[in-house]
Amino acid sequence: MNQNNQQIAIDLNRISKNYGEVTALHNVSGSIYDNEFFTLLGPSGCGKTTLLRIIAGFETVTAGDVLLYGESIAELPANKRPVNTVFQQYSLFPHMTVAENVSFGLQMQARNRTRDRSFIKQRTAQMLELVQLESFAKRKPAQLSGGQQQRVALARALAPEPRVLLLDEPLSALDLKLRQSMRVELKQIQQQTGITFVFVTHDQEEALTMSDRIAVMSEGQVQQTGDAHSIYTNPSNLFVADFIGETNKLDGVLLENNMGNGTCRLKDGTVLSCTARSDIATDANGTLCIRPERLAITSVDDPAAVLSGAIERFHFLGTDTQVVARTSTSEELLVRVQNTAANQLGLQAGDRVGLVVDAASATFLDQ
């Protein structure tokens, strides 16, 4: 996907939001592209929901501007913005039927007062078909399951053809199985409709599986923006490395940095090749991050082994086993081993092993 040729749907321009003394957002900038599934990911309290509510028009900015397809919407009230929201809680109007809920936005839109009723009816039916709830049109929301209610909420928000759809943790109230099938459904609906989705979640798995791009947020700031692969494999700082997936963190010093290819020395004196942002200076203290699945177990005297440790325990996780090892400087190392027939290592707790890692999988971060 070449993003340089893409139209920008939402442009966030140095947005800050304070509640009295508390800073919820600090100088947040970024672009969300047209027809993109964009996710704001972060722990609770990181400002992701505040940012979504600012785009929706439920919160005002303290400073900065929000542009929707090039036009500032920061001053527009929520009911004048061509964006719709799917809320975390089931927010369906309890006194209306499913069909009445879905057609609500269409009926409120000023331009539909000139359109005939058959258009609204047809569009409502089309939306219910999209979320596969045609036969539920006459039911009240209380007669639907949680998953069905959330699908109606989706249909209701999509019916007025918003330019951007905002989703505020819409799956968090559902159980695991339903959540997983809804992920697939949401992604399909986004591709079918071609509407830009801005999705807020604290669930990294949700973010990684659905998003075209992810913005990882923490403490009111965007820490890194990129596609799932680049955020996972090239975290730009320790927070991102730590928040997304599991990571082994080893303290060390960067000995040399040659345009991103460097070597570092760990506390126990081990020297190994790694990657590092090219702006990190030589002799900088920092942390070497290695994903557990990038470490391979070998015998302790294998010349390819860069690290070594003693196995402490095993966690059986179904498709893989997590091996916990401890280095001579008593730092914990997690190793993921796939449970294939070839990987029956026959190891026991207490065994000393060597660990292999290639330079591309060891990332040195300075903060």
Partner 1 sequence: MAQASAGIKKYPGFLAVTLVCLLVLYLPLIVVMVYSFNDSASITRWGGFSFRWYHEVFHSAENAKFKEATWNSITIALMAAIAATVIATAAAIGMIRSGQWRGKASSFALINLPLMVPEIVTAVATLIFFSAIGFTTGYLTILIAHCVFCIPFAYLPIAARLQGVETIYEQAAMDLYATRWQTFTKVLLPLLAPGIISGFLLAFIISLDDFIITNFVKGAGVETLPTAIFGAVKQGIKPNIMAISTLMLMVSVCFVTVSYLVGRLGQK
109 contributes a contact to partner 1 by CB under 8 A? yes
163 contributes a contact to partner 1 by CB under 8 A? no
Output the smallest distance, CB 39 to partner 1, in A: 20
Distances (CA, A) of 294 to 233, 323, 338, 356: 10, 13, 11, 8
Question: Residue 93 or 181: which CB sits closer to partner 1?
Answer: 93
| Binder among 3, 72, 89, 330 for partner 1 (CB under 8 A) | 89
What is the DSSP secondary structure assignment for residue 245, as one 8-state letter?
Answer: S
Three-class secondary structure of residue 294 per DSSP = helix
Which parts of 57-76 interact with partner 1 (CB under 8 A)? 57-58
93 contributes a contact to partner 1 by CB under 8 A? yes
b/e sequence 209-239, b meaning 16+ C-beta within 10 Å: ebbbbbbbbbebbbbbbbebeebbbebbbbb
95 contributes a contact to partner 1 by CB under 8 A? yes
CA dihedral 302, 303, 308, 310 (to 10 degrees): 20
Which parts of 123-162 interact with partner 1 (CB under 8 A)? 156-157, 160
Are 334 and 322 within 8 A, CB to CB? yes
Stretch of residues binding partner 1 (CB under 8 A), selected from 8-16, 23-31, 84-92, 259-267: 84-92
Structure tokens at 200: 């807020």
For strand 352-356 and strand 307-316, is the pairing parallel, antiparallel, or unpaired?
A: antiparallel
226 contributes a contact to partner 1 by CB under 8 A? no
Structure tokens at 255: 């000995």
Question: Residue 77 or 146: which CB sits closer to partner 1?
Answer: 77
108 contributes a contact to partner 1 by CB under 8 A? yes
Question: Residue 97 or 263: which CB sits closer to partner 1?
Answer: 97
Structure tokens at 88: 């975390």
| Binder among 3, 7, 29, 94 for partner 1 (CB under 8 A) | 94
Q: Which of 221, 250, 219, 245 is nearest to 234 (CA)?
A: 245
105 contributes a contact to partner 1 by CB under 8 A? yes
56 contributes a contact to partner 1 by CB under 8 A? yes
Question: Residue 35 or 88: which CB sits closer to partner 1?
Answer: 88
Helix-strand-coil percent breakdown of the chain, rounded to 5? 30, 35, 35
78 contributes a contact to partner 1 by CB under 8 A? yes
Question: Residue 57 or 252: which CB sits closer to partner 1?
Answer: 57
Number of residues that bind partner 1 (CB under 8 A): 24
Residues lying near partner 1 in the complex (CB under 8 A)? 56-58, 77-80, 83-85, 87, 89, 91, 93-95, 104-105, 108-110, 156-157, 160
